[in-house]
Each structure stands twice: as structure tokens, then as C-alpha cells.
Structure 1
Amino acid sequence: MLTDTAAKDAVMGEIKEILLEDLDENAAAIIGHEELIALGLNSLMLARLILRLNSVFDTNPFADETVSVADIRTADQLVTVYTRSRSAGRPV
């Protein structure tokens, strides 16, 4: 079973990787409640982040359209949708 801590670590890790790749910035201070746009993620980076998280969690919480990507503002919200999707057994 995926714990909230493991899910948060995975999401934060992927965000940090994308920020390092695209902006060459260290995002070590991400807590989770910051808005993704404030961290420096643009729409293309968010799309890449979601593709990576779909692979990491082996689920796509946006596939059945009960959750919209447009409603996601923070890393904590990403953790929540991925853990719920994984618990519900939604495939990629």
C-alpha cells in the first residue's frame, strides 16, 4: 500500500527533477502547499510532471475526468489525487 509519505516524497522528487532540468534551480525547500506556478512550473512542465507521475504511481487520476488537471494548484493536491487514484485501482 502506498503511504502518504511515500507519495509525497515521489511527487516532490519529480517536481525537483523537472525544475532542475528546465530551470537549473534547486527546489529543496518545497513543502507541498506552495502553488506549482509559484515554484516555477509552467504548463509544459506540468504536463511532463503528470506523465512522470502516471508512470511512477502506475495510475492516471485524470483519465475518467472526475478530477481535472486545471483544478490542481499545489503539490499536496497532486499527492492527494494520485493516492486516491491508486487506492481506487485506476489504470494508467
Structure 2
Amino acid sequence: MLTTDVQPAVVKEITALLDEDAVDELGEVTSETELSALGLNSLAFARLIIKLETLLGADPFGGGGDFIALRTVGALAQAYEQALSNHAGV
């Protein structure tokens, strides 16, 4: 997957996990949206990470990456972009 496709894929998967009321309350999910504002519990967040790893073919946290330090949707997308970049260079 091209790295330019990562952010839309991340947003799409987040939106798919949220229920309709949460989407209405949040409005548009953008790169600046705080992950904490999404209201995802730990199980839903784990499902998101697994889905993104499968979809994008990269695991940004397998090498000890710190997902707890990520604050925004954009930062999550950048973690996957970096993992894809590192994987392509192998």
C-alpha cells in the first residue's frame, strides 16, 4: 500500500469501529483528532491495531514501538507509514 493511502485507511477503520452516535458526536475524524477523544476501550483499540496491521501489512509496534505515546490519528497513521517505509527498505 502506498504511504499516501495510510491516513485514509486509518480514518476509515476508526470510523468503522465507532458506533453511529460516536461519529455524530465527534464529527469528522481527521489527523488532528485525539485518540483519547474517540472513546475506544482497550479491546476496540486492539481490534483497530490488528485490522490496520492486516490491511496495511505492517506492524509498527512489533519492534518495541510505543503506541501509548501516540496522541492523534495522524500520529497513528505516521507510525504505520514509518513501519511501511522500514519494511520497504529491508
TM-score (norm 1): 0.81
Q: Deviations over 1:31-71 (max 9, x none)?
A: 12121121222222111110000001111110010x21111
Aligned length: 86
For 1:28 and 1:38, how far apart are their aligned partners in 2?
11
Q: Secondary structure at 1:34's aligned position in 2? A: coil
2:42 maps to a residue whose letter is S
Residue 88 of structure 1 pairs with residue 82 of structure 2: no
**2:75 maps to what in 1?**
77
TM-score, normalised with respect to structure 2: 0.83
- Tell me by how many angstroms 1:28 deviates: 5.2
Deviation at 1:73, TM superposition (A): 1.7
Secondary structure of the corresponding residue to residue 33 of structure 2:
coil
Partner of 1:33: 32
Contact 1:16 1:28 in 2 (8 A): no
What amino acid is the match of 1:50?
A: I
Unpaired runs of 5+ in structure 2? none
- Identity among equivalent positions (%) equals 35
Q: Which moved more, 1:30-39 or 1:77-86?
A: 30-39
Q: Name 1:10's counterpart in structure 2.
A: 9
CA positional deviation for 1:9: 0.5
Q: Which residue of 2 aligns with 1:62?
A: 61
| In structure 2, distance between residues paired with 1:25 and 1:34 | 13
The two structures, once aligned, show a CA RMSD in angstroms of 1.9
